[in-house]
Amino acid sequence: MKTRFLTILLLLAIILTSCDRGTPSPTPTVTLPPTPTATPLPTPSIETTRVPDAKGIARTYLDAWKVENYPAMYAALTQLSRDAINEESFTRRYTDVISEAAADRWDYEILAALVQSPTSAQVNYRVSLHSVLVGDIARETVMNLSLENGQWKIQWDDALILPELKGGNYLRMDYRIPSRANIYDRFGSPLVAQADAVAIGLNTALVTPDEQGSLLSLLQEVTGVRAETLRPKLEDYRDSGWYLPVADISAEQAATYMNRLSAYAGVILSPFRARYYFDGGIAPHVTGYMSAIQPEEVDNFKRLGYQWTERVGRDGLELWGEQYLGGTRGGVLYVIAPDGNPVTELARRDPQPAQSITTTIDKTLQEQAELALAGVPAAGAIVVIERDTGRVLAMASSPTFNPNLFEPTNYNSQSLIGDLYGEGRPLYNRATQGQYPLGSVFKIITMSAGLQSGLYNAESPYQCGYHFEELGSGIVLDDWTWTHFLDDGKTQPSGLLTLPEGLMKSCNPYFWHIGLDLYDRGMVTMVSNMARGFGLGSPTGIEISEEPGNIPDPTDRVDATNLAIGQGNTQVTPLQVAAFVAAVGNGGTLYVPQVVERIAPPDGEPTYVFTPTIRGTLPITGTNLQILQEAMVTVLGSRGTAPTAGRFLNSYNIPAAGKTGTAQTPFEDPHAWFAGYTFANREGRPDIAVAVILENQGEGSEWAAPIFAAIVYQYFYPDAQRPLFWWEAAPGVFKTPTPIVTDTPTPEPTLTETPES
């Protein structure tokens, strides 16, 4: 009996030991006790069965959401969830919510985590969506997790985004959008505003030959489109009866001419209401334009608070000032049930009025600049800035464009919109984005470098002949006088010159000599660093789009000579040139060019008012700067390269200084440059700086200098009618490529290389 009792105790001990270690219980049929040397079966350690960190899995998932890594999020779902929703639908569910809520960012905070059993867990967290329309939306929600193959996986549920979306609910935004604000010139004249307008076109089949002349004259009076432009198109279209688009005008202007226009059977007037750019676009490269949101842009713009049907700023101030011109958008965000009925209002915010932009542009001067370019058979640009502040008073780029053609309700849009992307690239702002070799205008910088080096002064002499042979190796560079002829014969070389006279006569050999001399003396970057100190090779800081240009460091002696006259790989924008010439004229202060004068709401104080912003100081002493200024005055004198422009301005008592330039280009005619400033010191008329470029048009003295003089004259005498350029039959109309009266303008230098014989 005792033996049997001991056997039972041993069996109980074995059972208890097995249960404690997690091994299977021995079967009841086993009656023999284990031998003392028996080894227990191996058992898993506690570490191999530890439950993973549910909070860490949730954090990884939510971090992936913040960077929109939807594939990683989808991979974290349970298999059952992935069977229920495919990755594309899963991704679209998240992006639709973010897009409709107009959320530009979102965040989360994990509040608690609970492991409910070895195979299930919950994580509580707060999600915060920041909507640009209705503000912050913060909600607490729950993430359920299941253990699959030893890893936590997330059970998909719409409530993972927001709890109100559970059951397939979705969001819908009711947009509250303020009216877009206007853009004005500096004196308050509207450049862009919401207005009624009229598109004018012709039914060419109804325009009789007898009426053609008077009709074209009337259209020129009304729209500014010249009869010479319309006549060949009208005659080509007449047999086919095609519609010929002419222009668009404001409704107010149309009303003035309505009776006269209606008298012609062929005239078609198509009213439309839109954001209207007056006079076919005044300074359109400054104001910019608007166009429709494209299909591939819809999601991004909805996140910014836009409806897909809207038009948005695409360039110029329409783009830069979107946050002001568009106002602060508001809205009401609703939760909608799958059947389309509203469930609840999630958030709301009222809109705030838009703010108008008053530009620094002088409308009258701008129109004159555009007209001056229109009369030249070349692309080009003009920049006019206040010398002592950096205000941009005019910025013209040719060819120009009509921003109203981006308005689809404009009947002429469909016929003409393609022209904006065609030959000449009208949308391209040559004033800020055009990058050109500067030619002889760059000699201002080389002269400054020579003076600052201490190797040259105002009396430094140089014999300026036809040729430059200092490079050696048989390389001969020719001065511009070598190939230039006047009516009485070949131009004579300039002869012995001081440094200021070298600038006055634009002697190429003198400046090649300076560049080469500095290079040979180890001052390799003296000229290029001076150019950078003048603001070249980097953006100016203007509000609208611009290019930086390029100022290379010379790598050899030939590079040094090319750089010295603004050739080689030198690239500048007309805006940069106007800015540094202004700095020369004002005593050395380089200002940031600006086109925004004021930003203000409909009622209340302005939120921004123009303040001159200093970008830097020219790296030249006051004494050397005075030498440079005096030399630039002589350029417009009787012995300089722009005597005609100088005499014209002197006759109106407008003192000015400047520099001509003729920049060589491969395989085409050179670019014509002129840059200068005034020092009239007149009350109420701050002095200005002007840069003019005409692409592949020839000599700067013949083409760019007269335009400089005309712009300066129009600025100081805004009510006067400027005289015609030698190439005009009428203002803005090109007459002949050969000047009738040249007044013996002196052309600019040419860089040519004579090959070894």
Hey, what amino acid is at 513?
A: H
Judge contact between 109 and 139, C-beta under 8 A: no
Residue 342 has pLDDT above 50, yes or no: yes
Residues 117 and 121: their CA atoms lie apart, in Å, by 7
Phi/psi region, residue 407 (left: phi>0; alpha: psi -120 to 50; beta: rest), is beta
The token duo for 381 is 């640009």
User: pLDDT of 76-89, one tens digit each?
Assistant: 999 999 999 999 99
Q: Give this prediction's pTM.
A: 0.85
pLDDT at 487: 65
Report pLDDT for 18: 42
Specify the DSSP element, H or E, that contains 112: strand 103-117
pLDDT at 50 (0 to 100): 59
- Residue 413 to residue 272: CA distance in whole angstroms: 11
Closest CA to 582 of 690, 493, 507, 486: 690
**Which residues, other chains included, contact 600 with Cβ-Cβ below 8 Å and sequence gap of 6+?**
355, 356, 358, 606, 607, 608
Length reported for the chain = 757
In this structure, the strands spanning 608-609 and 614-617 are unpaired
Q: What sign has the CA pseudo-torsion 66, 70, 76, 79?
A: positive
Let me know if 253 is exposed, middle or buried by CB neighbors in 10 A (0-12, 13-18, 19+): middle
CB atoms within 10 A of CB 639: 12
Cβ contact 244:223 at 8 Å: no
pLDDT digits (tens, 9 = 90+) for 454-505: 999 999 999 999 999 999 998 999 888 887 766 666 778 889 999 999 999 9
pLDDT of residue 730: 83
pLDDT at 46 over 60: no
Of 131, 183, 204, 472, residue with least CA distance to 317 = 183
- Backbone φ and ψ for 744, nearest 5 degrees, come out as 45, 55
* Nearest of 588, 679, 575, 681 to residue 628 by alpha carbon: 588
Residue ranges and CATH numbers for the domains of the chain are 2-43 (no CATH), 54-170 (3.10.450.100), 439-734 (3.40.710.10)
- Express as a percent the part of the chain with pLDDT over 70: 90
Of the pLDDT bands very low, low, confident and very high (cuts 50, 70, 90), residue 40 is very low
User: pLDDT tens for residues 152-165?
Assistant: 999 999 999 999 99
CA geometry: angle 562, 480, 620, nearest 5 deg: 50
**Tens digit of each residue's pLDDT (9 = 90 or more) over 249-300:** 999 999 999 999 999 999 999 999 999 999 999 999 999 999 999 999 998 9
Note the helical H segments in 506-653: 508-520, 526-533, 557-564, 574-586, 622-635, 643-651
Q: Mean pLDDT over residues 694-698, rounded?
A: 96
